[in-house]
A and B are shown apart, each in its own frame.
Chain A
C-alpha cells in the first residue's frame, strides 16, 4: 500500500516575515516585502527594487560552528528547517537516523560565495583566493548542512530546478516516502539575492522598475526576491505513531519539459497544461475539485499569458480563484515554489486566498479570477501550486485538507478505478 504523505511543519525566512505566524499574517494582509536593495549597489543598473529578507540573523538560528561553515543561502535554509521541525513538534532525536532524508531545491545556491571567489581571482589572481570558502560553494551543501543539523542519515539531495525547484523538491520528497525510502523528509528550497543574477534579469529586460503586477494589463516584468521555505513531510504511519496533527496532505505532482526555449515558456503551453492536469489526475482528482490556484505569476508578459492559457485549458469556463504571491515577495527563484507551497498550506488551513497586490487593470489575455488586492475567503479543500522555470521545466503540486484525497497510488492516472 502506498503511504499518504503529510506536511506536519513549515518554516519560513522571507521578506514579509520570519516564521510561520508572521508569514501567514502578512499573506492575509497583502503585505509587500519589496524594498530598495541593500545587498549591493543596484542604482547604476536602473533597477533597485527587490524582495530582500530583512532582520534575519543567522546567529538567532545557527550554532557558532554552523555560522562559520555556511553561506547566507544555507543559513536561511537552516534557519527555516529548524523552524519547520519545531512547528512539527519534532526534536532532532525524533528524526535522527537513516529513515530521514533531506531534499532541497535552489537555482544557484551559495552564489555570493562564488561571486566573492571570482572577485578575488579576477582582481588578485589564483593565489588571491581565500582557501576556506572554496569548500563552502556547491549547491549540494544546502542539503548537507541541514542533514547535519537535523541528524538525517538517509538521502541528501539538491535539485537545481531553477524557478520550479521548490516544487521539484517537494515532489521527490513525497515520492521518497511513498516508495518507502524514507519516513520523514525535510524539504523545501532556498535562494538569495545576488548581484550577477540581478544584473542578468535586468539585461534580459525582464525586471519591472517598481512593482510586480502579475496578470495586470500594464505589468512590466518581475522583481527578484529571496528567502527559504522549508517543510517537514512525514509518512502517515510516522505522523500517526506520534499523534501529529498534519497541516495538509500533499497529493501527487505533474512535471514536464517544454523542450522549446531556454528562458521562455512555450506559447502553446502544452507542457505546462499536461503538468497541471497530471498533478490533478494523479492525485485522484478532477479539475472541478480544485478550489484555488497559487500561481507562478511572475509578472512578465510571456509567463502570465502562457499561464492564463494553461488555466483556461485546464479549467474551461470555471473561474477558479487564482493569485500570485510574487506580487508581495518578488520572484524568489528557486525558493519561490517552496514559499508558495507554504502559502498553499496557509490557504488549506485557513480558507484564505492571499491577494495579488498591485492589481489594477484586467488584461484580456489574462482574463482570470484574480484575487485582487484584498484576501478572500473560500473553500480550500484542494489547492494547487503552479511553477515554471528556465530550461522549460514545468512542475505542479497538490495540497489538500487531510481526509479529502483518495488513497495515493504510484501509477498512471487511468490506473485509478
Chain B
C-alpha cells in the first residue's frame, strides 16, 4: 500500500463526541458507564442490561433541528461523525466547504464516503415489522421504509454533508471498518476521489441488544485485563479523513497519522456443522499480510490496538494470534473494554484510538505486555465471528 494520510477524525462514541473529547477520555483511561439509564430503547423489562451507549446524544445539537425526524439513530451517529470529521480535517468550516484551490473542482465533487456497518437499521426494520405484525402491512410508514435498506445511513451522510465523488457501504462484521480502508486505498489509488471519509457506524437498538443476549454473547471481564473491567455491547461511529500525502500537503493539512498496510484472511471452522468461529490462524495471517503490505517487520510494531472486547472465546483467539504473528509479549491494548463492542464501527474506533496512541496521548487499556518507549507504529486488529479477520498497519505522522 502507498502511504495514505489521515488528516481528520470524527468520533461519536460512548466516551464522548469529537476527537479532542475522545482522545482526552482515552488519555485519562476513562470507561463508559454501563449502568446508567439506557436511552436508545426502553430497557426497564431487562435485568441488568449492561451496554455502552453514546450518552445524551442529541444529533440536533450538531445538525440543527430540521430533518431529524427522517433519520434513525444509525444515520444520526454517522452524519454527526461525518460532519465532525470534515471540520477536523479543515475541509469544512462553520458547516460550509472551504474554497478549493484555484482551478480545482469543488471539494464536494472530490470527496466521498466508505463506511462499514454490520447490521443495518434494526431499529427501523423492527419498527416496521411491529406495525406489520400488530396492525397491518398496509400501514407501514413509507417515509421510514428506506431506512430498512442497509446503505441508507451512508446515503444520508452523503446528502447531509454533500459528498458526491462516491459512496461505498461495506459489511464484514467486526472487520468491516478495516476492510473499508482497503477499499478506500484502491479508490484513492485510481483517483476516484481526493479525500475519503472512511470508517464505520453501528447503532444500539433493542433488537441488537436482545439478539446478543439471546445468543448468550458472554461479555465478561477480559482474563488479561488487570482492572477486571467487563466488556459489553456498544455503539458509535468513527470516520477518518484519508487522502494521499500529496493532496494533504497541497492543502497544507496537518497529518495526524498514516496508514501503511492492510491484510485480511479467512479460515473456516474445522467442523462443517459450525458457523461461528474465532480463527486465530486467520488473524495471524492478516497481521503478517498487513506487515508485508507496509514493508515492515514484526519487531517494528510498538502497540497493537486489538479488538479484544470481553467475549472470552474470541479474546483468547485474538491474543494468541497476535502473539503468533508478532512474537512474545507485544504491547496489546483493548480500548473496546472502555467503549464497548461496536461491531461494524469497531475497527473505526480502533483506528481513531490508534491515532491517540501514535500521538502518545493514550497509554492505558493494556491487556498484554507493556509500553516500551514512544509509539511509532501501531497495528489495529479485528476478528469477525465467522472466521474472518483483518489488520491495519499505521504509523505516526512524520514530524
Residues of A near any B CB (own CB < 8 A): 44-45, 63, 65, 68-69, 98, 106-109, 114-115, 117-119, 121-123, 126-127, 129, 131, 134-141, 143-144, 147-148, 152-162, 168, 172, 175-176, 179, 181, 195-197, 199-200, 202-205, 255-263, 271, 282, 389-393, 410-412, 415
Please determine whether A262 and B155 come into contact, CB atoms closer than 8 angstroms.
yes
In the complex, what's the smallest C-beta–C-beta distance from B130 to chain A, in angstroms?
Answer: 6
Stretch binding the partner chain, chosen from B53-61, B85-93, B136-144, B237-245: B136-144
| B191 neighbours in A (Cβ, 8 Å) | 410-412, 415
Please determine whether B171 and A155 come into contact, CB atoms closer than 8 angstroms.
no
| A271 neighbours in B (Cβ, 8 Å) | 164
Stretch binding the partner chain, chosen from B4-12, B175-183, B246-254: B175-183
Complex: A127 Cα to B211 Cα, angstroms: 10
Q: Which of B141-163 contact A (CB under 8 A)?
A: 141-142, 145-146, 148-152, 154-156, 158-159, 161-163
Which of B125, B133, B161, B171: most chain A CB closer than 10 A?
A: B171
Please determine whether A147 and B112 come into contact, CB atoms closer than 8 angstroms.
no
Complex: A307 Cα to B159 Cα, angstroms: 20
Complex: A271 Cα to B171 Cα, angstroms: 24
Please determine whether B151 and A162 come into contact, CB atoms closer than 8 angstroms.
yes
Known contacts: A154-B264, A199-B137. The answer to whether A391 contacts B386 by CB under 8 A is no
Please determine whether A257 and B164 come into contact, CB atoms closer than 8 angstroms.
yes
Please determine whether B213 and A126 come into contact, CB atoms closer than 8 angstroms.
yes
Known contacts: A108-B149, A131-B216, A262-B155. The answer to whether A159 contacts B171 by CB under 8 A is yes
Known contacts: A160-B171, A161-B151. The answer to whether A256 contacts B164 by CB under 8 A is yes
Please determine whether B183 and A172 come into contact, CB atoms closer than 8 angstroms.
yes
In the A-B complex, the 5 residue pairs with the closest CB atoms: A391-B155, A160-B150, A200-B145, A257-B167, A65-B272
Please determine whether B151 and A122 come into contact, CB atoms closer than 8 angstroms.
no
Please determine whether A158 and B172 come into contact, CB atoms closer than 8 angstroms.
yes
Per-residue contact bits, chain B 206-239, to A (CB 8 Å; 1 contact, 0 not): 0100110111100000000000000000000000
With both beta carbons as reference points, the residue of chain A lying nearest to B186 in the complex is identified as A175
Known contacts: A162-B149, A412-B191. The answer to whether A156 contacts B388 by CB under 8 A is yes
With both beta carbons as reference points, the residue of chain B lying nearest to A176 in the complex is identified as B186
Known contacts: A147-B268, A157-B179, A199-B138. The answer to whether A390 contacts B146 by CB under 8 A is yes
With both beta carbons as reference points, the residue of chain B lying nearest to A255 in the complex is identified as B166
Known contacts: A154-B266, A259-B159. The answer to whether A159 contacts B168 by CB under 8 A is yes
Please determine whether B146 and A262 come into contact, CB atoms closer than 8 angstroms.
yes
Decide yes or no whether B190 CB sits under 8 A from chain A: yes
Please determine whether A134 and B211 come into contact, CB atoms closer than 8 angstroms.
yes
| Choice from B133, B140, B171 contacting A119 with Cβ under 8 Å | B133
| Choice from A68, A196, A389, A390 contacting B128 with Cβ under 8 Å | A196
| A106 neighbours in B (Cβ, 8 Å) | 150
Known contacts: A68-B273, A260-B159. The answer to whether A119 contacts B118 by CB under 8 A is no
In the complex, what's the smallest C-beta–C-beta distance from B111 to chain A, in angstroms?
Answer: 10
Please determine whether B148 and A197 come into contact, CB atoms closer than 8 angstroms.
yes
Known contacts: A122-B130, A126-B213. The answer to whether A159 contacts B170 by CB under 8 A is yes
Please determine whether B108 and A262 come into contact, CB atoms closer than 8 angstroms.
no
Please determine whether B179 and A69 come into contact, CB atoms closer than 8 angstroms.
no
Please determine whether A141 and B148 come into contact, CB atoms closer than 8 angstroms.
no
Please determine whether B386 and A390 come into contact, CB atoms closer than 8 angstroms.
no
Known contacts: A117-B211, A118-B207, A119-B133. The answer to whether A390 contacts B190 by CB under 8 A is no
A and B contact pairs by CB, cutoff 8 A, 16 listed:
A106-B150, A107-B149, A117-B207, A126-B213, A138-B171, A144-B266, A159-B170, A159-B171, A162-B149, A175-B186, A256-B164, A257-B155, A391-B167, A392-B158, A393-B151, A412-B191
Interface residues in B, total, Cβ within 8 A: 81
Please determine whether B138 and A45 come into contact, CB atoms closer than 8 angstroms.
yes
| B189 neighbours in A (Cβ, 8 Å) | 179, 410
In the complex, what's the smallest C-beta–C-beta distance from A409 to chain B, in angstroms?
Answer: 9
Please determine whether A122 and B133 come into contact, CB atoms closer than 8 angstroms.
yes
In the complex, what's the smallest C-beta–C-beta distance from B210 to chain A, in angstroms?
Answer: 5
| Choice from A122, A155, A204, A259 contacting B145 with Cβ under 8 Å | A204
Please determine whether A135 and B275 come into contact, CB atoms closer than 8 angstroms.
yes
Please determine whether A118 and B125 come into contact, CB atoms closer than 8 angstroms.
yes
| Choice from B165, B268, B273, B385 contacting A257 with Cβ under 8 Å | B165
Please determine whether A259 and B210 come into contact, CB atoms closer than 8 angstroms.
no
Per-residue contact bits, chain B 260-280, to A (CB 8 Å; 1 contact, 0 not): 000011111000110110000
In the complex, what's the smallest C-beta–C-beta distance from A282 to chain B, in angstroms?
Answer: 8
Please determine whether A200 and B148 come into contact, CB atoms closer than 8 angstroms.
yes
Complex: A258 Cα to B109 Cα, angstroms: 10
Known contacts: A44-B137, A161-B151, A391-B158. The answer to whether A153 contacts B164 by CB under 8 A is no
Please determine whether B384 and A140 come into contact, CB atoms closer than 8 angstroms.
yes
With both beta carbons as reference points, the residue of chain B lying nearest to A168 in the complex is identified as B168
| B112 neighbours in A (Cβ, 8 Å) | 257
With both beta carbons as reference points, the residue of chain A lying nearest to B145 in the complex is identified as A200
| Choice from B70, B126, B152, B388 contacting A118 with Cβ under 8 Å | B126
| A261 neighbours in B (Cβ, 8 Å) | 159
| A204 neighbours in B (Cβ, 8 Å) | 142, 145
In the complex, what's the smallest C-beta–C-beta distance from B78 to chain A, in angstroms?
Answer: 12
Please determine whether B273 and A259 come into contact, CB atoms closer than 8 angstroms.
no
With both beta carbons as reference points, the residue of chain B lying nearest to A114 in the complex is identified as B125
Complex: A119 Cα to B133 Cα, angstroms: 7
| B179 neighbours in A (Cβ, 8 Å) | 155, 157
Complex: A324 Cα to B137 Cα, angstroms: 30
| A259 neighbours in B (Cβ, 8 Å) | 108, 158-159, 161-164, 167
Decide yes or no whether B134 CB sits under 8 A from chain A: yes
With both beta carbons as reference points, the residue of chain B lying nearest to A412 in the complex is identified as B191
In the complex, what's the smallest C-beta–C-beta distance from A222 to chain B, in angstroms?
Answer: 14
| A109 neighbours in B (Cβ, 8 Å) | 150
Complex: A144 Cα to B128 Cα, angstroms: 28
